Amino acid sequence: MALKYAFYTGCSAKGVAPELYDSTKLVAEKLGMELIELEAATCCGAGAVQEKDEFLSLTINARNLALAEELGLDMLTICNTCTLMLREAKFKLDNDPELKAAVNEVLKEAGLEYKGTIEVTHFLWEVIDAVGLDKIKSMVVRPLREFNIAPFYGCHIIRPPYLTGYEDPDNPSSIERLIEAIGGNPVDHDARLACCGFHSFWSAEDKVTLKLTAMDTQAAKKQQADFMVTPCPLCHTQLDAMQPEAEEKIGVNIGMPVLHLPQMIGLAIGLKPKELGLHKHVISTKAIIEKVA
């Protein structure tokens, strides 16, 4: 079965996390996943539009979903928040015929229609369910044996279960299983299922956000992780690019590298750190690059 997806990049992979975009494309190709990029898709609203104008956010995402429906393919995302926002829109539209009709009245203006015929999925889930861990295992050329890897799920891929539903939000295991498949050592730590703080940055940077960022990265450090890995670019921006601010806030040097999920897979299946954009991180990934060399 050919694995083919409507690829929804989201803003981050096209903005501050180009290394996620690049590594996803490279790894997907190697794993036999064909990604048809939705170049006409817009931002999902990221929860911001949703908390000002619910109907507007629903119409925007109905359009995004309709673009994937045009291709007849499930929509593959690479961001937890995109996944959740698109699934939330789909959930609301599919469960409320009146709302769906109102949204379609709007979409008609641009000659579009939302039908509800495709699903929204995340790269992590497809790597496990569609590619399969056995296939990944068979492709590993550089097992990450000597690495202690701290999974950081990020909230919006596990909670709330009525919108995510892939695995138990209290006891997920997908990232750990993936780490084991590529020969790495998953480490348990206090912040495994915690929040990076991203979404209250502009309202509570000092009061909440940076404190969480510091707690999370320190939790991984406490368990002697070599790096953290996350399926979400927003978590990545927060934990990696904002880690210096978090360090400054608590007056402690943390220095915990954070990899995007496809970067980690890429290293194990023989892609080069440079192609995967490991040099584009704020917290140095030098120690990792040297070890895999």
Partner 1 sequence: MEKFKLKVFRYDPTKDDKPYYQTYELPVEKGMTVLAALFKAKEEQDSSISFRYNCRAAICGSCAVRINGHATLACKVQVKHMLEKYNTDTLVIEPTGNIKPLKDLVYDMDWVIDKLKKIQPWFIPKEEPPADGKEYRQDPYDHHKIDFASDCILCNSCMSDCNALKANKDFLGPMVISKAYRFIADSRDGAKRERLETVLKDFNLEWCVRCMECTTRCPKEVQPYENIIRTRIIAAEEGFKSPGEIHAEIFEQDIYNRGLLNEMLLPMRQEGLLGAAKRAPFGIRMFFKGKVNIADFFGGHKVKRHDEVKKIMDKAKEVKKNIKIKLISDVHTPYEDKRKSKQGG
| 40 versus 141: smaller Cβ distance to partner 1 | 40
| 30 versus 159: smaller Cβ distance to partner 1 | 159
Per CB under 8 A, 56 contacts partner 1? yes
Per CB under 8 A, 45 contacts partner 1? yes
Minimum CB separation from partner 1 for residue 28, in Å? Answer: 14
Minimum CB separation from partner 1 for residue 125, in Å? Answer: 7
Minimum CB separation from partner 1 for residue 221, in Å? Answer: 18
| 242 versus 265: smaller Cβ distance to partner 1 | 242
Say what angle helices 54-71 and 97-108 make with each other, to 10 degrees.
70
Give the span between the Cα atoms of 49 and 43, in whole angstroms. Answer: 10
* Residue of 133, 142, 166, 221 that binds partner 1 (CB under 8 A): 166
Tokens 């138990």 sit at which residue? Answer: 168
Per CB under 8 A, 170 contacts partner 1? yes
Query: Which tokens go with 117?
Result: 């015929």
CB 275 within 8 A of CB 266: yes
Residue 198 DSSP class: G
* Residue of 21, 24, 35, 50 that binds partner 1 (CB under 8 A): 50
| 160 versus 255: smaller Cβ distance to partner 1 | 160
Number of neighbouring beta carbons within 10 Å of residue 138: 10
| DSSP element (H, E) containing 34 | strand 33-37
Give the span between the Cα atoms of 52 and 71, in whole angstroms. Answer: 31
Per CB under 8 A, 109 contacts partner 1? yes
Residues 174-233 that bind partner 1 (CB under 8 A): 194-195, 197-200, 202-204, 207-209, 211-212, 215
Q: What are phi and psi of 167, to 5 degrees?
A: -150, 170
Minimum CB separation from partner 1 for residue 147, in Å? Answer: 22
Q: ∠ CA(87), CA(51), CA(156), 5° rounding?
A: 40
One symbol per residue from 223 to 262: x for binding partner 1 (CB under 8 A), - otherwise; what is it?
------------------xx-xx-----------------
Which of 240, 170, 229, 149 is CA-nearest to residue 198? Answer: 240
| 107 versus 143: smaller Cβ distance to partner 1 | 107
Per CB under 8 A, 39 contacts partner 1? yes
The stretch among 120-128, 138-146, 217-225, 255-263 that binds partner 1 (CB under 8 A) is 120-128
Give the span between the Cα atoms of 281 and 258, in whole angstroms. Answer: 8
Q: What is the radius of gyration, based on Cα positions, of the chain? A: 19
